Structure 1
Amino acid sequence: MTRPELLLGPGAVEVTESGLRLSIRQPWYRSLPLSSVVDLEVSVDGESVNRDALRMRVDGEDYGLDDLPARWDTVWFIQDAAEVDVPVALEPGPAHVEVALTLRFPYIIIDGVGPLRRRTTATADVHIDRSTR
């Protein structure tokens, strides 16, 4: 069981000059290596953001999603939020943000399948104000 309320909690979406910054936390009960991140999907108002444009910052280091599988030696601690920069053009008014994080749990092996994977989705509604741009 994963916990979506941890993935994208209250106040986790910030408007920046280039789009949005998300503060996400692992929706799991124990810390995992960054190589456990299988995928991260973000959409704003139903429009998917290109995964190649997403950058994830953990413990002060910046990674593209394709960099993560090799980061078995870097731990994403459950008490630490990762920041995800989302370059997206925003219009003033309400915006609906959806985040989906797929994690692989290397210590839970399913016979004939391999490591357990779980996809957790969370949403947030934000208001884009001209003064915050």
Structure 2
Amino acid sequence: MTLTEHALTGSVLTTGADHRMLVGLPWYRSMPYSSIVRLSLTVDGVPAEDLQLEASDEWADLPSLATMTDRSWFLQDRRPLRWRPAGPLGARVEIVLRVGLHLPNLVGPTGDGVQVLQEVRGEVPVRAAA
């Protein structure tokens, strides 16, 4: 398994008033939520709108994650994403998850912080919410 593959392992997209899916952190170590500088998802090529991550038992959009300096996303944790539905889906969908991370304690050659963009692609099943 690669560095990022585990992020979608076992994921199922659940449809309903909003769509949801559990994802893992596509990195090799735990990170503070505030280190997430980009978060995007496409479903069959359609960008997810109003994307939020459940972080420490509250829903957070990208600007809110920046304030969560004292809480972390641990590698073993699968966190729910939710977003507004954009149309009907088939039985399986192609997912592209992109997570940009600011790496704490690392400084680039110009003195700026170091950021990485992790992209994970996979096909996941779709099911209706119970």
TM-score (norm 2): 0.83
**Contact 1:90-1:128 at 8 Å conserved across structures:** no
* Structure 2 equivalent of residue 117 of structure 1: 115
**Contact 2:27-2:118 at 8 Å conserved across structures:** no
**Contact 2:13-2:21 at 8 Å conserved across structures:** yes
- The alignment covers a number of residue pairs equal to 127
* Structure 2 equivalent of residue 29 of structure 1: 28
Label 1:92 to 1:32 Cα distance change in 2 as closer, same or farther (>3 A). Answer: closer
Q: What is the RMSD of the two structures over their aligned residues, measured on CA atoms? A: 2.1
Label 1:102 to 1:82 Cα distance change in 2 as closer, same or farther (>3 A). Answer: same
**Contact 1:5-1:122 at 8 Å conserved across structures:** yes
Task: Compute the displacement of 1:94 (Å).
Answer: 3.6
1:107 aligns with 2:105: yes
* Structure 2 equivalent of residue 69 of structure 1: 66
Task: Compute the displacement of 1:19 (Å).
Answer: 4.6
1:91 aligns with 2:94: no
Distance 2:98 2:65 in 1: 16
Task: Compute the displacement of 1:120 (Å).
Answer: 1.1
Distance 2:83 2:95 in 1: 11
Distance 1:92 1:55 in 2: 23
Percent of pairs identical after alignment? 25
Task: Compute the displacement of 1:119 (Å).
Answer: 0.9
- For structure 2, the residue ranges without an aligned partner over 5 or more in a row are none
Task: Compute the displacement of 1:127 (Å).
Answer: 4.4
Higher helix share: 1
